[in-house]
A and B are shown apart, each in its own frame.
Chain A
Amino acid sequence: MTGYILSRLIRAAVTMLLTVTIVFLFIRFSGDPAAALVPPDAPQEVIDQYARTMGLDQPIWRQYAGYIGGILRGDFGFSIHTGLAVEEVFFDRLPFTLHLGLTALALAIAIGIPIGAIAAIRRGSALDRFVMGFSVFAFAMPNFLFGLILILTAALAFGTFLGGDSANVIWPALTLGLAAMGSFARFARSSLLETINAPYMRAAEARGVPFWTRLIRHAAPNAAIPLVTLIGLSLGALVAGSVVTEQVFAWPGVGQLLVRSVATRDLAQVQFLVLVVAFTMVMANLVVDFLYLLIDPRIRAT
């Protein structure tokens, strides 16, 4: 078990370090980093000044060490847009994105997993075909199209405009969570089907354990194991989806900030956001790995 924890921690650290290194190398070798990190109209003296503080006259490995050191100290640079520290801009927007993302995740879990489970239990029924159809639909539906359809429908049917209202989280969250909902439903179905047909289910039946008890106490915990991985992985899809969804609904979150920063080439801001996303994903994977320890005794034994 210590071996497992240790190997996951090392793997996470290596992944994060590699990501930071790649980001550094791209920034360093894609033209003049000092020019890229200061406002486009800055005079040459400012650029030179910046280059000196960044240590661009130093050998590459010292620059790298300096870069890592900066990250460890929490020094990420300033947004050319606002002149504020990039993390400050980020933290202003984070609550909106968390609100949207967590609502979307909750919707996807609360709707997707139960309908997938019902489809597995009623395998072959009309309900099962409907759920499977829904999951394909959710997979193929572009979130920007779905968002626009929601906005259009709301405007035509109720005369309300859904965009730009951060109090009404349900519709953007539904847009964001739709794809994950579909894949949770599909995966919950196949995972549960697999465990329903497992030998220990037949053995429990032979011991006289009733159907629902078998389902809840034997099938569900086993089916949940791969689902935990999927939920961890879906975080990436949610982060990616929030970029588009926030744009469609004019939601003042991190995704919108990222798009605007890319469009205006606010490189310090973009770089910081990329590192934050990578960090979040690595942490999410770590949490999934550790959750395994709780739910799967076979891993505890290793």
Chain B
Amino acid sequence: MSEVAAAGRAPPPIPLSVKIAMAFVVLFVLFALFGHALTPHGFRETSLLHRLEPPGTEGYLLGTDARGRDLLARLVAGAQITLVVAIAGTVIGAVLGSLLGILAAAQRGRAEAVIIAAIDVQASLPIIIVALFMLAMFDNSFALFLLLVGLNGWEVYARLMRGATLQAKESGYVTAVRALGASPARIYLRHVLPNILNIALVQFTVNLPLTVLLETALSFLGLGVQPPLTSLGQIMSEGRDRLMTAWWLTLLPGAIIFCLALSVSMIGDWLRDRLDPTLRSER
């Protein structure tokens, strides 16, 4: 409705739900970094005297597992790995995918055809299947696992960034700046990139929970993070057989995974509404 011009452009306040989500993410990071101060036990330390203690037991705030290891200490160690995998993994996919997408749009021609074919191939193979295939062939190492999880979603970044770059390339402001005599480097760094970064940022918040879920799912299947390291998914996997008797071993790490994924995607939804140019009145 062009007749109704939007007036003042003060950014709307952050909704309470998003504030809570942000607080949870901060809390999770603090928990992973400093949580070991909450418990005297190491995450590999077993105690045959304290097997399957329920939460609230003296000295074991969140209880213990079947080998008498402190669940709190294990959750901290698992959160650390999950955090590392989530961030490193997401960044790998985001950087690789975005670069390929921008390259395809910038070069067109043969490079673009090759990248599109690669996107098609990846899109026809869910990443978990690729990961399982690779894990069947190569020895499971943390580096390989990180790489596989990192590949998660690269094709989405590539597709989004290609589209956004093409659109920016055709835009009036890039035409005008080209006509000013700007070099390609200046056009891409100063004009195209700043205008497409939002899209990658929003996709980052979509991809991060998916990466967490992929890592925990693979670890849950026993094909991800291997002992002596641990992750939230691996803790769940170990506790699974005792679901009926020691629910805390599965539900506590599960709750952390769920809340983390939920918080990040709520922040992402809010960001999308804030940044989406189609929702913002430009005219």
A-side residues, CB < 8 A to B, are 11, 14-16, 18-19, 22-23, 26-27, 30-31, 36, 136-137, 139-145, 148-149, 151-152, 155, 233, 236-237, 239-240, 243-244, 247, 258-259, 261-263, 265-267, 270-271, 273-274, 277-278, 281-282, 285
Q: Which residues of chain B are near A236, meaning CB under 8 Å? A: 123-126
Is B112 interfacial (CB 8 A cutoff)?
Answer: no
B125 touches A142 (CB 8 A): no
Instruction: Pick from B117, B123, B124, B265 the residue with the most CB of A within 10 Å.
Output: B124
Is B87 interfacial (CB 8 A cutoff)?
Answer: no
Chain A residue with minimal CB distance to B253? A145
The one of B121, B247, B255 that contacts A152, using a Cβ cutoff of 8 Å: B247
The one of B121, B124, B257 that contacts A145, using a Cβ cutoff of 8 Å: B257
B126 touches A18 (CB 8 A): no
Is B137 interfacial (CB 8 A cutoff)?
Answer: yes
B125 touches A277 (CB 8 A): yes
Q: How far is the CA of A31 from the CA of B220 in the complex (A)?
A: 28
Q: Name 5 extra pairs, CB < 8 A, besides A19-B124, A142-B257, A145-B257.
A: A26-B137, A145-B258, A148-B240, A263-B223, A266-B136
Interface residues of B in 113-157 (CB under 8 A from A): 117, 120-121, 123-130, 132-138
Chain A residue with minimal CB distance to B263? A140
B132 touches A22 (CB 8 A): no
Q: How far is the CA of A59 from the CA of B116 in the complex (A)?
A: 30
B137 touches A281 (CB 8 A): no
Q: Which residues of chain A are near B243, meaning CB under 8 Å? A: 148, 151-152
Total interface residues in chain B, CB < 8 Å: 43
The distance from the CB of B231 to the nearest CB of chain A, in whole angstroms, is 13
The distance from the CB of A54 to the nearest CB of chain B, in whole angstroms, is 16
A contact patch SS: helix
The one of A144, A155, A261, A271 that contacts B220, using a Cβ cutoff of 8 Å: A144
- Of the A-B pairs whose beta carbons lie under 8 Å apart in the complex, a sample of 19, sorted by A's number, is A18-B121, A26-B134, A26-B137, A137-B262, A140-B209, A140-B261, A141-B261, A142-B216, A144-B216, A144-B217, A233-B123, A244-B221, A259-B223, A262-B135, A263-B222, A270-B137, A273-B129, A274-B133, A278-B124
Q: Which residues of chain A are near B209, meaning CB under 8 Å? A: 139-140
B236 touches A144 (CB 8 A): yes
The distance from the CB of B225 to the nearest CB of chain A, in whole angstroms, is 15
Q: How far is the CA of A27 from the CA of B133 in the complex (A)?
A: 10
Q: Which residues of chain A are near B126, meaning CB under 8 Å? A: 236-237, 239-240, 277, 281
The distance from the CB of A1 to the nearest CB of chain B, in whole angstroms, is 22
Chain A residue with minimal CB distance to B260? A140
Q: Which residues of chain A are near B128, meaning CB under 8 Å? A: 240, 243
Q: Which residues of chain A are near B124, meaning CB under 8 Å? A: 15-16, 19, 236, 278, 281-282, 285
Q: How far is the CA of A259 from the CA of B209 in the complex (A)?
A: 23
A271 touches B133 (CB 8 A): yes
Is B244 interfacial (CB 8 A cutoff)?
Answer: yes
Q: Known: A152-B243, A247-B221. Is A18-B117 also a contact (CB below 8 A)?
A: yes
B244 touches A142 (CB 8 A): no
Chain B residue with minimal CB distance to A16? B124
Is B254 interfacial (CB 8 A cutoff)?
Answer: yes
Chain A residue with minimal CB distance to B217? A244
